[in-house]
Copies of this chain bind each other. A is one copy, B any other.
């Protein structure tokens, strides 16, 4: 209700666009909740390792959970093909030229899945550290995948993305010896923007640190099963 009061202060056009997407996001959330699906929105720069993290997650969790992936890309089905090869049901959204997924695009892809047969839905957003942060999809959790070669100044330069997420993965730590990445400086930036954020420092290449991430996902699935969220 406090939220409504804020919305009415916005200029009309923006209010309309935002609330249309937010309304659809709420409907998506309802679909997830009715079907008992835990849905996560994974966001990152191009090439940070979203697809690799998804592949590892599918391989590790598929034995005890039913996984599906929705991949958002401007073009190609490379990512959905990889998710499928790793063992998940996968749907590709090609946005044409759009720089982010929105709730309506996700809804279209959901129609191709049988939600009642899914425990965990991973939504891989378009590779972009800016625009996806502004569009709710209706997922329960948002996850940002940062990567070491991107550099440690990224929280400071992309604050909206870092501020809004529920968990942070720092990928490609196998490259730490070869690049200039100031981890304390990076972590200070994250802590300022998003105090206490769940953070998983890992390498999809070597597997180092993956267990903590997988445990977190398992716990989230379990919490949803028990309806305790």
Contacts and interface: CB of A to CB of B under 8 A. Distances in A.
Identify which of A47, A147, A154 gathers the most chain B CB atoms within 10 Å of its CB. A47
A211 interface: no
A157 B75 CA distance: 5
Interface string A120-134: 000000111111001
A134 to B, nearest CB: 7
A168 to B, nearest CB: 15
Interface in A127-166: 127-131, 134, 147, 149-151, 153-154, 156-160
Interface of A: 45-47, 73-76, 78, 97, 99, 126-131, 134, 147, 149-151, 153-154, 156-160, 172, 174-175, 178-179, 205
A179 B49 CA distance: 12
Most B Cβ at <10 Å: residue of A46, A128, A149, A178: A46
26 contacts: A45-B127, A45-B150, A46-B158, A47-B147, A47-B149, A47-B151, A47-B154, A74-B130, A74-B160, A75-B157, A75-B158, A76-B153, A76-B157, A78-B157, A97-B160, A99-B99, A99-B128, A99-B131, A126-B130, A128-B128, A128-B129, A128-B131, A147-B149, A174-B178, A175-B175, A175-B178
A148 to B, nearest CB: 8
Given A126-B130, A128-B129, A157 B46 contact: yes
Contact of A45 (B47, B74, B76, B78): B47
